[in-house]
């Protein structure tokens, strides 16, 4: 890498490894997640398909509030 002047930050450059990491990071790690998919297998055979989109939700958003109980 040449020690070019750091002031040329406004030039449009070709995609570098840094930008490629960002593309991968943005698309695989970020963005809205609507489904959660994992396939679990044994001996190379897909056995379990976990589709957790309907399950992953904070309980305090969807469950009715429990009435406070007196000392248990």
Which residues here bind another protein, judged by CB under 8 A? 1-4, 6-7, 9-13, 15-44, 46, 50, 52-53, 56-61
Q: Would you state the structure tokens that stand for residue 24, as one six-digit string?
A: 């991968």
Beta carbon of residue 55, minimum distance to another protein (angstroms, whole number):
10
Q: Two tokens at 49?
A: 């398909």
Closest distance to another protein from the beta carbon of 53 (Å): 6
Residue with tokens 């840094």: 18
Place of tokens 């960002």: 22
Nearer to another protein, 29 or 67 (CB): 29
Residue recorded with tokens 């593309």: 23
């Amino acid at each position: 890498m040449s020690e070019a002047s750091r002031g040329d930050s406004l030039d449009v450059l070709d995609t570098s490894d840094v930008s490629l990491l960002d593309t991968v990071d943005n698309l695989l790690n970020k963005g809205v997640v609507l489904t959660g998919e994992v396939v679990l297998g044994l001996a190379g055979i897909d056995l379990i398909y976990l589709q957790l989109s309907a399950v992953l939700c904070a309980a305090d958003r969807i469950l009715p509030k429990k009435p406070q109980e007196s000392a248990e």
